[in-house]
């Protein structure tokens, strides 16, 4: 049984989040629930997160999320170089805010391209990189005092 089935949702990237939450809480309270609470919690945590849900959705469609286009590799390299050249934290934070905006745009694009798995996968690869980049660099700026 996959996470969508556990939470009584269709297998799709675009899900009704309110329905997912209602189903989750209903299953938590139900004595007839045959799903282990750890599995139920993991299903909920994966599906409520846009990035994790996209990766899980692709895995169910047997689409690899490990490959990256040459174009994205170049883009990643250029972004890292540009960020490394920034000299003060204010500029780095402004750059990170641009990345956050781009992440929101990518999530919207995922929603629009759910039926085109190739395009969806390309968008996901960039989204995954942007999110990873942001987490690493945010720790760099905010992690040191």
Rounded Cα–Cα distance for residues 128 and 122 (Å): 10
Asked if residue 108 belongs to a domain, the reply is yes
Asked if residue 12 belongs to a domain, the reply is yes
Q: List b or e across 80-96, with b for residues whose CB sees 16 or more CB atoms inside 10 angstroms.
A: eeebeebeeeeebeebb
Same domain? For 31 and 80 the reply is: no
Segments forming the whole domain that contains residue 12: 3-48
Task: Return per-residue pLDDT of the chain as tens, 145 residues.
Answer: 999 999 999 999 999 999 999 999 999 998 677 888 899 999 999 999 999 999 999 999 999 888 778 888 899 999 999 999 999 989 999 999 999 999 999 999 999 999 999 999 999 999 999 999 999 887 766 665 4
- Which CATH number is 114's domain given? 1.20.1280
In this predicted structure, what is the pLDDT of residue 145?
45
Same domain? For 96 and 40 the reply is: no
In this predicted structure, what is the pLDDT of residue 138?
77
């Amino acid at each position: 049984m996959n996470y969508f089935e556990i939470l009584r949702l269709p297998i799709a990237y675009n899900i009704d989040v309110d329905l997912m939450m209602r189903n989750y809480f209903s299953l938590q309270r139900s004595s007839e629930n045959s799903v282990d609470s750890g599995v139920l919690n993991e299903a909920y945590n994966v599906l409520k997160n846009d990035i994790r849900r996209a990766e899980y959705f692709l895995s169910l469609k047997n689409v690899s999320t490990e490959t990256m286009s040459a174009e994205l590799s170049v883009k990643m390299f250029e972004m890292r170089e540009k960020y490394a050249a920034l000299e003060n934290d204010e500029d780095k934070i402004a750059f990170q805010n641009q990345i956050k905006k781009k992440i929101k745009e990518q999530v919207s694009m995922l929603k629009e391209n759910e039926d085109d798995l190739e395009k969806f996968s390309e968008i996901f690869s960039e989204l995954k990189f942007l999110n990873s980049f942001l987490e690493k660099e945010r720790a760099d700026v905010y992690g040191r005092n």
